[in-house]
Chain A
Amino acid sequence: MTRIDGYGHALDRTRTSTVTVNGRRYTGHPGDTLASVLLAHDVGAIGTGVKYGRPRGITAAWTEDPTGLVQIEEPFPEPMLLASTVEITEGLVARGVNGQGRLAQVPDHARYDRRHTHCDVFVVGAGPAGLTAARRAARDGSSVVLVDDRPTPGGTLTGTERIDGKPALAFVDDVVAELAAHPDVTHLQRTTAFGHYDDGFVLALERRTDHLGSEAPAGRSRQRVHRIRAARIVLATGAIERPVVFEDNDRPGVMLASAARDLLHRHGVLAGRDVVVATTTDSAYAAALDLAAAGARVQVLDARAEVPPSWADRCAAAGVAVTAGTTVRGTVGEHRVHGVLVGDDRAEMPCDLLLVSGGWTPTSHLVSHVGGTLAYDEALGAFVPGEQLAGVDVVGAAKGTFGLAAALREAGGDDAPTAPEEPSTPSLVVWRTDGDPSRQFVDIARDATVADVARAVGAGMTHPEHVKRYTTIGTAHDQGKTSGMLAAGIIAELTGRPITALSPTTFRPPFTPVGFAALAGCQRGELFDPVRTTAIHDRHVRAGAEFEDVGQWRRPRYYPQPGEDMTAAVLRECVAVRTRVGIMDGSALGKIDVQGPDAAVLLDHLYTNLMSSLKVGRVRYGVMCGHDGMVVDDGTVLRLAEDRFLVTTTTGNAAHVLDSMEEWLQTEWPHLRIRLTSVTEHWSVFAVVGPRSRAVIARAFPGLNVSNAGFGFMTWQDTGLDGVDVRLARISFSGELAYEVNVASWYASALWDHLVAAGEPEGITRYGTETMHVLRAEKGFPIIGQDTDGTVSPHDLGIGWAVSTKKADFVGKRSFARAVNHDPMRKQLVSLLPTDATTKLPEGSQIVAWCDDGALPPPPVPMLGHVTSSYLSAELGRPFALALVTGGRERIGEVVGVPVGTALVPARIGGSVLVDPEGARRDG
């Protein structure tokens, strides 16, 4: 154990938790991360690299770690999390990642959600700069949201600093308490702002329950995506320490200096006993001294020619040896560092921990996400935020302001907190030292080396974006947090160009990986997509319906009786409708009220057939085409008044048809005096269909003249029932005598019950969409979207009679004049009867010429078309199909072949109307 007493401000040492990693059990404390527990137990390697399989350990103490990947197994499998960011809880089971992670094979039952938040000021980062900026905004009376990705606020403060004369962590506590007292301040820890978008929009992921382990409350979301819209954004995202590239720099035991310091103060973990600190900058001295004070033997190698005097004095007092003008060239060891190779003569210096600091790179991802530029700062050796973005302030280390005192001043304004000034000496910018480029890892997460960069440059790539794609540098879980700047520096060196001539790669969301489950939120299961239901959905459920989804609608498909499968139920329903009477809920049909003096003009424009000649009280079938003359929708049109029509659309196409009608009206014919209003849900529609439907309607609506003379085919009538308006229309989608009964949906349940009761003496049978499909197919009525695919004209469907030759113009008319639309070899809708009278051809089957040997010839086999609809017909006593067949109408009577499995099934082409072609049944 290397747990040091007197350190570990994040720990609750009164309690312990046991975790299992790579099959071994380790004990830690609440407040530990997997990384701190492993390092407390002197664990070096935990997994292996993705490409070369070399050992991988912990390199950094937070999200920048390129190496410490673990697969969580318990409590719920998650791939590729960083040991440095996983807070331990009792019973946690993990193993090191060897190359790749593994997705869960079991359902994730945790809850995920999202929340929209609006505020005046949104502050990212609760380090000293962010806390100060949030306090300043709160004191100004702004509504503030402050988020920070670590479990506790304070950022990189170790507790050794002093702010406003107090210990730094006491300052943090004070500011947090002050913010908590403001009613308009929301402060969220464990919340990562992972994407920044235009107009003050930020996405943040809050990890809400994992750290609570078994005490996590039921019913609370595990993770929440906050969608935050702010008038002003303050980015206090800090900076990430940058390593230096040298030979075998990927070996476990090589760590960022800041990580070792963080682990010591936060978790009381001394990551090594024999420590070498290799630095090009001042900040690593603090780590060296802190580790020495905690009991480690520490030597410092400073790449700079001179050791800063103040640090030299303090190191001397602490017994820390310092060598100036020296760099690390490599490491030795098996599964972890046993020594470092130092200087030009590569002298071996034994150690068990090598700390590296090559300076700091401002964390400017959220600037880059939203298009902000980055500019190279020679002194820092890093890209820093460039010109200011409107509404976005960057403060503190994120802006390149690294001293605590200066950062507080920048964030705090007039009442900024104060901290002692630290002298600082210029850093030396070093990207890499001499060594074998094939063992110098630029992006350790991707196993991408200096040799790989050289290969990319040699292949002609000079822009970091190109090199990134060639080498994959910066594309791992860490998105190049430590390697991106190194890669740019090394590209500059290899191309001999100044780094200022390079533009860095653009950072893209997410800043850290976000699970798809979190992004999905509650949109899963029943809430995955809205399920639209009609007003009598409960009636269908009670009647035992099986449902099918039609667009977003959930419609009854059939109503099986006990022991019936779908085939039996549909055959029974078909027989009932053709021989007695059936009832179907057609309420999902789209309905549009078209009102205004020019209503008929608009419909003449939009439908292929003439609508202006329709008389009030009558109904007409209509077809709508696109510019290309291909069918897009069909339905019926009821003329309610001279200046008013009710238009129906197919269920799945209702919104699209209304939108396209509005588009035509608003963009092409704005002079027309017409208003369009959706009434889809206002009206419920029930189809009462079959030879006995007249008796049912007569019983249901006493006083209504239901005779054929009094209520003819394709007419509508209003009637009343108990003072409620009911509209009936004689429209048939089956060829049978049929009535569509419309009522305002408040009364739908009562009217449905009324019709079912009125139909009982006639044996009325509920039927669903499947039976509707069979009945209409027997009559050759196409379903737009099933029998058509956007390349089918009305003529192809055999409904060329619905295309007016008299109208001056309508949508699609021009296309009907094109020669290709008159090609007799276009695919046309026909019926197919398998000659064996038993095979139900699968929908989508290809159609080819029949071969006398009954076998499919070797490819290529010319295609004649495909099966669009296929059913068993009770009426015909056999299966039948509709198909689009090249020159189909000319081929009527011909036998074609349909490959089904390995067999070629012969089928005879017929006209598209198989039942009652003379239309004798429509009047009962």
Chain B
Amino acid sequence: MADTLTRTHPLEAWRTAFAALSEELDPGLAIELAPLTTALDLRVDATGVFPFADVLGGPLPTAPNTWTPIRDGRAVWLGPDEWLVTSTTASGPRWEDEVRAVAGPHRGAVVDVSAQRTGVRLRGRDARELLSFGCALDLRPASFPAGSCAQTLLGQSGVLLLADDDGGPALDVVVRASFAGYVAGWLLDAAEELRPLPHNSDQEGDET
């Protein structure tokens, strides 16, 4: 019998393939697994005053399709009365109780959804190009700067995209765990187009 219940990343099986691709396409594109992160779905009516700054370690964003950093994590606007709040340190069940204690009196609801989603982080100048093969949104930096988020489709899977800046542009693709394998396969397939061409081809010459 197993001694301990170890955690498994939903995309563990793809880690090697992403690493190999990232090495091949360096510095154009890097894909790495997002760390396992505690996440709560917070539903509360937007009454204008949010009492969550203490329990979350930061404010909830009120501008649609944005996210703000909070203590050890993020607060992501998902809808007029819905946020995803994340933490790299909190325990899901305990944090759920703590936040619900604040949200409850405001007719809010809090659910631990830590394992509901997973994701990858894309870095490099081709990250947006890669997503353009399957996402209809305008992800150009002027339209989707760091701090933006959007719930959209990548290929045929619903995803949550977040733009970040960690010393260079980074895009996080957050996906429901059961769709993660599809999205991983989709990303590797789409990345085919980013592989460098052999020199003797004039393929790119036409795309002046």
Contacts and interface: CB of A to CB of B under 8 A. Distances in A.
B185 interface: yes
Interface in A208-264: 208-209, 212, 215-217, 219-221, 227, 229
Contacts of A229: 136, 138
A744 B203 contact: no
A189 B207 CA distance: 7
A721 B135 contact: no
Contacts of B186: 522, 527
Contacts of A118: 138, 140, 143
Nearest to A682: B116
A138 B139 CA distance: 21
A535 B207 contact: no
Given A679-B116, A753-B2, A116 B136 contact: yes
Contacts of B47: none
Contacts of A751: 5
A220 B5 contact: no
B109 A750 contact: no
A532 B178 contact: yes
Interface in A704-743: 721-725, 743
Interface stretch (A107-115, A303-311, A430-438, A836-844): A107-115
Given A523-B156, A534-B178, A679-B116, A220 B203 contact: yes
Interface string A88-120: 000000000000000000000001011111100
B133 A114 contact: yes
Nearest to B131: A116
Interface string B1-33: 111111111100100000000000000000000
Interface stretch (A180-188, A416-424, A877-885): A180-188
B197 A757 contact: no
A529 interface: yes
A720 to B, nearest CB: 10
Given A535-B10, A675-B109, A682-B112, A208 B203 contact: yes
Nearest to B112: A682
Interface string B153-173: 001110000000000000000
Contacts, number: 171
B5 A754 contact: yes
Contact of A116 (B2, B5, B132, B208): B132
Contacts of B72: none
B206 A189 contact: yes
A815 interface: no
Contacts of A593: 109, 111
Contacts of A179: 208
Interface in A29-76: none
A744 B118 CA distance: 13
A533 interface: yes
B190 A681 contact: no
A188 B177 CA distance: 38
Interface residues of A, number: 75
B193 A221 contact: yes
A744 B208 contact: no
B2 to A, nearest CB: 5
A274 B114 CA distance: 80
Interface string B108-147: 1111111111000000000000001111111010010000
Given A532-B182, A681-B116, A750-B2, A187 B208 contact: yes
A113 B133 contact: yes
A115 B132 contact: yes
Contacts of A753: 2
B73 interface: no
A207 to B, nearest CB: 10
Contacts of B135: 116
A651 to B, nearest CB: 11
A531 interface: yes
Contacts of B192: 111, 219-220
A330 B155 CA distance: 56
Nearest to A179: B208
A286 B190 CA distance: 48
A749 B7 CA distance: 8
B10 A745 contact: yes
B93 A725 contact: yes
A117 B128 CA distance: 11
A677 interface: yes
Nearest to A745: B115
Contacts of B197: 217, 220
B188 to A, nearest CB: 10
A532 B179 contact: yes
Contact of A217 (B13, B107, B140, B198): B198
A538 interface: yes
B98 to A, nearest CB: 15
Contacts of B185: 526-527
A441 to B, nearest CB: 37
Contact of A681 (B138, B176, B200): B176
A596 B115 contact: no
A595 B92 CA distance: 17
Contacts of B133: 113-116, 522
Contacts of A189: 206
Contacts of B198: 217
Given A115-B132, A116-B135, A721-B5, A535 B203 contact: no
B104 to A, nearest CB: 9
A639 interface: no
Given A745-B10, A757-B1, A677 B41 contact: yes
A678 B5 contact: no
B113 A677 contact: yes
Contacts of A7: none
A673 interface: yes
Interface in A285-321: none
Contacts of A588: 178
A758 interface: yes
Interface in A362-407: none
Contacts of B114: 682, 744, 746
Interface in A671-706: 673-675, 677-684, 700
A540 interface: no
A754 B193 CA distance: 43
Contacts of A115: 132-133
Contacts of A553: 178
Nearest 10 Cβ contacts at the A-B interface:
A675-B109, A745-B115, A532-B178, A595-B109, A118-B138, A675-B43, A530-B182, A681-B177, A682-B116, A746-B7
30 contacts: A113-B193, A117-B132, A180-B208, A187-B207, A187-B208, A188-B207, A189-B206, A215-B200, A229-B136, A522-B133, A522-B155, A530-B155, A532-B178, A535-B177, A588-B178, A595-B43, A673-B107, A675-B109, A680-B116, A680-B178, A681-B177, A684-B115, A722-B4, A724-B5, A745-B115, A745-B116, A746-B8, A750-B2, A750-B4, A750-B7
Given A117-B132, A179-B208, 4 more contacts: A220-B192, A522-B186, A595-B109, A682-B115
